[in-house]
Amino acid sequence: MDIPYEATAANYRRAKRQLEQLRDRLPEEHPDQKIIEGMISDCGFAAEWLTTSRRPGSKRGIERRATYQRDKLMDPIRMQAFVHRSTAGSPSNLTDWQSFQIESALSRLSERERECYVLAHGECFSHEYIADLLGITKGAVDQFVSRAQKKISAEVQNSLFFCG
């Protein structure tokens, strides 16, 4: 049986009011006072979440995030499969077409951008580790990966190779 969110939120608000009445009847030094305060807080949190459809206190819901924060440029599993070129029957194996698409997008990058992007997204190394590995600063790695992501995003959006 599905219960509408608003009805569930109303139940939480009702429970919160009952807990507040109970708290007001108890003496301040009562050992259950903290537990009841926590329950009141939890009921308010749940009711607000159900009413607004977003986490309480969150200034930006997912629908308000900037494009670069919610878009995945490439499937990370595909990128890792591309780097490792596995052919052992894994579900993450790439078709020739998928490999061609990734190679096409990566061909737009400078040598250093490609190196940093592949290490970050294909090998899943941290930017700090990549910096140590390549003998550059972490800030430089951040810039190379960021630039690479912008170029790949533009390639994915503007290329006929990425249709379907």
Residues 99 and 58 in one domain: no
Residues 58 and 40 in one domain: yes
Residues 135 and 74 in one domain: yes
Read off the pLDDT band of 144 (50, 70, 90): very high
Residues 158 and 112 in one domain: yes
In b/e form, how buried is each residue of 19-49, taking b as 16+ CB within 10 angstroms?
A: bbeebeeeeeeeeeeeebeebbeebbebbbb
Mean confidence (pLDDT) of the chain: 77
DSSP state of 54: S
Total tally of structural domains belonging to the chain? 2
Please provide residue 37's backbone torsions phi and psi, each rounded to the nearest 5 degrees: -60, -40
Residues 56 and 122 in one domain: no
CATH of the domain at 84: 1.10.10.10
> What digits encode the pLDDT tens for the residues 4-38?
667 788 888 999 999 999 999 988 888 888 899 98
Q: What is the domain range of residue 46?
A: 5-64
Residues 77 and 91 in one domain: yes
- For 4, 9, 62, 81, 114, the CA distances from 74, given in Å and listed in that order, are 37, 38, 19, 12, 14
Give pLDDT, residue 21: 92
